Amino acid sequence: MKRHRKAPPKGRGVPRISEQHQELRHALELIDATEDLTRLVPLLQGLRGDLAAHFADEEGEDGLARAVGPAAPHHLRRLEALLAEHAQLLASLDDVIERGDALLDGSVKQVVDDARALTRRLARHEAAETALLTDAVYSDIGGG
């Protein structure tokens, strides 16, 4: 599934991070509403790229520390805990993506392949029945 990517947020610092937060909320809502694994994994992969870039912005020179530190140093401990969670969140996301990929490449793919093989087999069966009816009704019974 091809994902249409928006242009990267413009600006720097807090305005850029705020814009990214809004885009991430939208992506998370979409992911949360998606039950189809074949759509979910690509959405998660897209989120992974966006999230890594976002976390880099938050941790960077114009990131959250610059915004929070001078203005509200009493919040630095909370900030440090949130920044430390970035690596854990990315690792958890990588795990979910990896497990989703494994299912799509493994048992889910096998079920889809088996279902397609069955539909082809059923289509051949129905075509053979139609041919039999055509031969019997129109050729033999109908005198044709």
Model confidence, pTM:
0.74
- What is the per-residue pLDDT for 10? 63
Given pLDDT bands bounded at 50, 70 and 90, which one contains residue 102?
very high
d(CA 93, CA 97): 6
- Of 43, 66, 45, 63, residue with least CA distance to 54: 63
Domain chopping of the chain, boundaries? 9-97, 106-144
Alpha helix positions (H), 60-106: 64-71, 76-105
pLDDT digits (tens, 9 = 90+) for 38-56: 999 999 999 999 999 999 9
Determine if residue 11 is left, alpha or beta; phi over 0 gives left, psi from -120 to 50 gives alpha, anything else beta.
Answer: left
pLDDT at position 9 over 80: no
